[in-house]
C-alpha cells in the first residue's frame, strides 16, 4: 500500500520533471533585431553586426541551441568586422586602451544572448506559459506529497532503513542521473542562461505580479530554490515529526528562505529599492563590497545606509556574538539559504559525505584558503573603489583599517586559544598568523611602492575569477549539483568562506558543544554515517569525549539517529577543555583507572 503511494509519487514527479524539461523545447525562435540593438546598446556594434544577421532574418529556429548557434556566429562575425574596422580605419590594436573600449567584447556577446533569445521567442510556450508553469508546479507538488504520504502513516521515529540500498541515495544510476541533471542545470544557469528561456517564461507571470518586471534567470532560480526548500522541508517535517529540534530548525530555514531570500527582495524591488537578501553575510555574500552594490546602497538614502550598516554589523558583531552563544548552527542550519537547501533537498544525501582523515585534511586547507581568497579579493576591490585622497575613507586608510581588523582577529585567536585546552593546535594558529601577515605585508608593500593593484592582479580579474571559481563552480555546480555524489554539504564544508569564519569563532570561543553521554556509546556508527559534514562523531562518542569541531553546523542529526541517547547539542559557558580531551572517561564509573590514566 505504502509502496503504491511512493511509486505513484515518483511517476508523477518524473512526469512533472519531464514536462518541466520539455518546456525548454516548447518554443521556436525568430530573431527580433530590435532586441539585439537594444541589448548591445551600442549603435556601432549593431551596425557592424547587422550584415551578418541576414541569414537569420525571418528564419524560425526550432530550439534555443540552433538559434543561439546562429546568433553566436553572427555576433562573432560582427566582432571580427569591428576588429578589422578598428585596425584598418582607426589604426587601433589590442595594445591600445581605446581599442578595448570600442571593440565588441566576449562578455558582451555572452550577455546579450539571453535578452535576444527571450525577445525572439514564439510558438506554443509563450501563449501557454502560465498553463504549463502551473501544470509543472501541480505535478511536482502532487507527486511529492504522494511520495511523502507514507511518512505520515509511519510510526514517528528515525527512518533510515534502506538508505544504503537505495540507488538514488547511494550513488546508484538514479543518483548519478540526478547528479547529472542538477549539474547540467547549474552549468546552464551560470554560463548558458539563454537555454533556460523556457523556464524563465514559465515564471514570468509571477514575476510581473510580484515586482512588475519580467523574470530574470535569477528570479526563476530563486523561486525554484524557495519551492524546493518548501516542498523538501515538508518532507523533513514529516520525517522528523518526533523531534522538536528538527521541526523548529526546518521551519526556520523554510521561513528565512521564503521571507528573507525571496519575498522581501521582491517587495523591495517592487518599491524600487536595493533588494538584497538581508540574511546573506559577507564573505558568503562576496559581492557585498563591490562598487555597484555600494553605489546602489549609497544612492538609496537612509535605507541604503541602513543596508550598509546592517551588512557590516552582521559581519562584525552578529557573527561573533550569535556564534558565541549558539555555535555556528544559528546560521548554517537555521538561517542560511545554502544550508536551507542542504538540509531539505540535500537531506537524503547526507550519508555520502566523506569521513576519511584525508577528506578532513583537504577540508581544513581548502575552506580557509577560500576565506583568504575572499579577504584578499575584497580588500583589493575596495581599495580600488575608494578615492585615493580626501577627508573620508580613502583606499589607504581602508587598507590600514582592514589590516588592523585582521591583526585584531589574529590577536583574539591567540588570546582565547591559549585558554582553551581543546583549542586549535598551535601550529594551525601559527600558519594562520603567517598567512594574515603575508596578506597585510604584501598589500602594504605594494601600497607603499605605489602600485595600483594591491595583490598583483587587476582587481576586476581577481573578482571575476572569484565569482567564476568560488561563486559559480564551487557553490553552485559542485556544491549542489554533486549532492547525489558527494553529499549535501560539499560547499559548506570545503568552500564556504563564511562557514570558515563562523567555524573559527565556534572553535575558539563558543558555548556550543556536542556532549556525549557517559559510557552509553555502542560504536554503531549511525552518528558518523549521517553526519553531513563528514565528522567522525563516533570517534569522539566512544571515548566519552565532548565534541568541538569548527565544521559542525549543529544540524542535530547525530543526536537524532543515535539509538542509545548518547549525543546532545548544548550551550553552556562552562569550560569545555577538560571534557573535550581524548579518552576522558571510558570506564566512567571506575575512578581508579581514570586517575592513573
> Sheet of 60-61: strands edge to edge?
60-61, 28-30, 121-122
Q: Is 165 a residue that touches other proteins (CB under 8 A)?
A: yes
Q: Which residue from 95, 97, 244, 390 is in contact with other proteins, where contact means CB under 8 A?
A: 244
3-state secondary structure 545-558: CCECCCCCCCCCHH
Residue nearer to other proteins on the CB measure, 426 or 583: 583
CA distances from 142 to 14, 109, 134, 222, 434 (A): 11, 41, 12, 21, 56
Cβ atoms of 494 and 536 within 8 Å: the answer is no
**CA 498, 223, 172, 149 torsion-angle sign:** positive
Q: Is 245 a residue that touches other proteins (CB under 8 A)?
A: yes
- Least spacing, CB of residue 2 vs other proteins, in Å: 9
Span near other proteins by CB under 8 A; candidates 156-164, 211-219, 265-273, 417-425: 156-164
Q: Phi and psi dihedrals of 551, rounded to 5? A: -80, -15
Cβ atoms of 362 and 280 within 8 Å: the answer is no
DSSP secondary structure letters along 239-271: HTTT-HHHHHHHHHHHHIIIIIIIIHHHHHHHT
- Beta-strand relationship, 121-122 and 28-30: antiparallel
Q: Which residue from 33, 37, 296, 570 is in contact with other proteins, where contact means CB under 8 A?
A: 570
Gyration radius (Cα) of the chain, Å: 27
Q: Which residue from 157, 180, 411, 441 is in contact with other proteins, where contact means CB under 8 A?
A: 157
- Least spacing, CB of residue 567 vs other proteins, in Å: 9
Collect all residues with Cβ–Cβ distance below 8 Å to 324 and sequence separation of at least 6. 505, 509, 510, 511
CA distances from 540 to 32, 493, 508, 544, 593 (A): 64, 19, 19, 6, 19
Residue nearer to other proteins on the CB measure, 241 or 273: 241
- Least spacing, CB of residue 586 vs other proteins, in Å: 6
- Least spacing, CB of residue 499 vs other proteins, in Å: 21
Span near other proteins by CB under 8 A; candidates 301-309, 440-448, 449-457, 583-591: 583-591
Establish how many alpha carbons lie within 13 A of residue 582's alpha carbon, considering only the half-sphere containing its beta carbon: 1
Q: Interface residues for other proteins in 516-555 (CB under 8 A)? A: 517-520, 522-526, 528-529, 538, 542
Q: Is 237 a residue that touches other proteins (CB under 8 A)?
A: no
Residues that contact other proteins, how many (by CB under 8 A): 56
Q: Which residue from 158, 228, 362, 400 is in contact with other proteins, where contact means CB under 8 A?
A: 158
End-to-end CA distance of the chain: 57
CA distances from 12 to 4, 125, 179, 182, 230 (A): 12, 21, 20, 19, 18
Instruction: Report the 10 Å Cβ neighbour count for 597.
Output: 10
Burial status of residue 459 (CB atoms within 10 A of its CB: 0-12, 13-18, 19 or more) = buried
Q: Is 581 a residue that touches other proteins (CB under 8 A)?
A: no
Residue nearer to other proteins on the CB measure, 253 or 382: 253
Q: Which residue from 134, 271, 321, 593 is in contact with other proteins, where contact means CB under 8 A?
A: 593
Q: Is 144 a residue that touches other proteins (CB under 8 A)?
A: no
Residue nearer to other proteins on the CB measure, 84 or 523: 523
Triad 469, 475, 480: Cα angle to 5°: 135
Q: Which residue from 266, 375, 556, 580 is in contact with other proteins, where contact means CB under 8 A?
A: 556
- Least spacing, CB of residue 542 vs other proteins, in Å: 6
- Least spacing, CB of residue 159 vs other proteins, in Å: 9
Q: Which residue from 26, 56, 261, 569 is in contact with other proteins, where contact means CB under 8 A?
A: 569
Q: Which residue from 515, 545, 550, 551 is in contact with other proteins, where contact means CB under 8 A?
A: 515
Cβ atoms of 319 and 281 within 8 Å: the answer is yes
Q: Is 1 a residue that touches other proteins (CB under 8 A)?
A: no
Place of cell 505513484: 8
Q: Is 448 a residue that touches other proteins (CB under 8 A)?
A: no
Q: Which residue from 26, 253, 381, 559 is in contact with other proteins, where contact means CB under 8 A?
A: 559
Q: Is 568 a residue that touches other proteins (CB under 8 A)?
A: yes
Instruction: Report the 10 Å Cβ neighbour count for 389.
Output: 9
- Least spacing, CB of residue 504 vs other proteins, in Å: 23
What is the enclosing helix (H) or strand (E) of 569?
A: strand 567-571
Q: Is 238 a residue that touches other proteins (CB under 8 A)?
A: no
3-state secondary structure 403-429: HHHHHHHHHHHHHHHHHCCCCCCHHHH
Q: Is 572 a residue that touches other proteins (CB under 8 A)?
A: yes
Span near other proteins by CB under 8 A; candidates 77-85, 88-96, 137-145, 571-579: 571-579
Span near other proteins by CB under 8 A; candidates 159-167, 174-182, 290-298, 420-428: 159-167
- Least spacing, CB of residue 523 vs other proteins, in Å: 4
- Written as nine digits, the cell of 139 is 505535478
Residue nearer to other proteins on the CB measure, 73 or 564: 564
Residue nearer to other proteins on the CB measure, 152 or 408: 152
Q: Is 6 a residue that touches other proteins (CB under 8 A)?
A: no
Instruction: Report the 10 Å Cβ neighbour count for 356.
Output: 10
Cβ atoms of 332 and 502 within 8 Å: the answer is yes
- Least spacing, CB of residue 594 vs other proteins, in Å: 10
- Written as nine digits, the cell of 558 is 547525530
Cβ atoms of 499 and 493 within 8 Å: the answer is yes
- Least spacing, CB of residue 329 vs other proteins, in Å: 10
Q: Among the residues of 54-95, which ranges form H helices?
A: 64-90
Cβ atoms of 274 and 297 within 8 Å: the answer is yes
Q: Is 487 a residue that touches other proteins (CB under 8 A)?
A: no
Residue nearer to other proteins on the CB measure, 216 or 252: 252
Q: Which residue from 448, 449, 573, 595 is in contact with other proteins, where contact means CB under 8 A?
A: 573
- Written as nine digits, the cell of 221 is 532560480
Q: Is 335 a residue that touches other proteins (CB under 8 A)?
A: no
- Least spacing, CB of residue 245 vs other proteins, in Å: 5
Q: Is 247 a residue that touches other proteins (CB under 8 A)?
A: yes
User: Which residues here bind other proteins, judged by CB under 8 A?
Assistant: 155-158, 160-166, 242-245, 247-248, 356-357, 515, 517-520, 522-526, 528-529, 538, 542, 556, 559-560, 563-565, 568-574, 579, 583, 586-590, 592-593, 596
Amino acid at each position: 500500500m505504502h509502496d503504491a503511494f511512493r511509486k505513484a509519487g515518483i511517476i508523477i514527479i518524473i512526469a512533472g520533471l519531464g514536462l518541466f524539461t520539455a518546456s525548454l523545447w516548447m518554443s521556436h525562435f525568430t530573431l527580433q533585431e530590435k532586441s539585439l540593438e537594444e541589448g548591445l546598446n551600442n549603435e556601432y556594434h549593431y551596425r557592424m553586426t547587422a550584415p551578418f544577421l541576414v541569414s537569420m532574418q525571418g528564419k524560425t529556429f526550432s530550439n534555443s541551441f540552433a538559434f543561439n548557434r546562429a546568433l553566436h556566429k553572427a555576433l562573432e562575425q560582427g566582432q571580427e568586422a569591428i576588429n578589422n574596422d578598428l585596425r584598418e580605419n582607426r589604426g587601433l590594436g589590442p595594445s591600445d586602451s581605446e581599442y578595448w573600449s570600442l571593440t565588441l567584447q566576449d562578455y558582451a556577446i555572452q550577455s546579450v544572448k539571453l535578452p535576444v533569445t527571450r525577445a525572439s521567442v514564439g510558438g506554443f510556450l509563450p501563449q501557454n506559459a502560465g498553463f504549463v508553469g502551473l501544470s509543472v508546479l501541480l505535478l511536482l507538488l502532487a507527486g511529492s506529497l504522494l511520495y511523502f504520504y507514507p511518512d505520515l502513516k509511519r510510526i514517528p521515529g528515525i527512518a533510515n532503513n534502506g538508505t544504503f540500498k537505495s540507488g538514488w541515495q547511494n550513488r546508484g544510476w538514479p543518483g548519478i542521473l540526478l547528479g547529472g541533471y542538477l549539474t547540467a542545470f547549474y552549468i546552464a544557469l551560470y554560463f548558458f542562461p539563454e537555454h533556460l528561456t523556457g523556464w524563465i517564461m514559465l515564471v514570468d507571470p509571477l514575476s510581473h505580479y510580484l515586482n512588475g518586471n519580467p523574470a530574470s534567470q535569477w528570479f526563476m532560480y530563486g523561486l525554484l530554490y524557495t519551492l524546493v526548500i518548501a516542498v523538501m522541508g515538508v518532507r523533513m517535517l514529516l520525517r522528523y515529526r518526533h523531534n522538536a529540534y528538527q521541526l523548529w530548525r526546518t521551519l526556520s530555514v523554510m521561513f528565512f528562505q521564503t521571507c528573507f531570500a525571496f519575498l522581501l527582495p521582491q517587495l523591495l524591488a517592487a518599491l524600487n529599492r536595493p533588494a538584497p537578501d538581508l540574511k546573506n553575510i559577507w564573505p558568503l555574500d562576496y559581492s557585498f563590497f563591490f562598487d555597484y552594490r555600494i553605489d546602489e546602497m549609497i544612492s538609496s538614502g537612509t535605507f541604503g545606509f541602513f543596508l550598509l550598516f546592517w551588512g557590516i554589523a552582521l559581519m562584525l558583531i552578529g557573527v561573533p556574538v550569535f556564534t558565541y552563544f549558539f555555535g555556528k548552527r544559528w546560521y548554517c542550519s537555521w538561517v542560511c539559504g545554502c544550508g536551507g537547501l542542504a538540509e531539505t533537498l540535500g537531506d537524503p544525501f547526507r550519508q555520502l559525505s566523506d569521513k576519511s582523515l584525508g577528506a578532513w585534511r583537504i577540508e581544513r586547507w581548502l575552506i580557509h584558503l577560500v576565506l583568504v581568497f575572499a579577504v584578499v579579493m575584497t580588500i583589493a576591490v575596495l581599495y580600488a573603489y575608494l578615492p585615493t585622497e580626501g577627508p573620508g575613507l580613502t583606499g589607504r586608510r581602508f587598507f590600514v583599517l582592514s589590516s588592523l581588523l585582521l591583526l585584531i582577529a589574529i590577536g583574539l585567536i591567540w588570546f582565547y586559544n591559549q585558554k582553551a585546552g581543546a583549542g586549535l593546535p598551535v601550529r594551525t594558529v601559527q600558519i594562520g598568523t603567517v598567512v594574515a601577515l603575508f596578506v597585510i605585508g604584501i598589500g602594504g608593500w605594494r601600497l607603499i611602492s605605489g602600485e595600483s593593484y594591491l595583490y598583483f592582479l587587476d582587481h576586476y580579474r581577481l573578482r571575476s575569477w572569484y565569482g567564476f571559481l568560488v561563486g559559480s563552480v564551487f557553490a553552485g555546480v559542485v556544491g549542489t549539483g554533486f549532492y547525489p555524489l558527494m553529499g549535501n554539504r560539499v560547499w559548506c564544508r570545503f568552500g564556504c568562506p563564511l562557514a570558515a569564519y563562523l567555524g573559527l569563532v565556534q572553535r575558539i570561543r563558543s558555548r556550543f558543544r556536542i556532549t556525549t553521554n557517559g559510557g552509553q556509546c555502542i560504536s554503531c556508527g549511525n552518528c558518523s554515517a549521517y553526519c553531513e559534514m563528514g565528522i567522525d562523531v563516533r570517534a569522539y562518542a566512544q571515548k566519552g569525549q565532548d565534541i568541538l569541531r569548527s565544521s559542525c553546523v549543529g544540524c542535530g542529526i547525530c543526536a537524532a539517529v543515535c539509538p542509545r541517547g548518547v549525543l546532545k547539542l548544548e550551550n553552556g559557558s562552562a569550560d569545555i577543555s577538560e571534557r573535550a580531551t581524548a579518552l576522558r572517561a571510558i570506564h566512567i564509573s571506575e575512578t581508579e583507572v581514570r586517575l592513573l590514566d
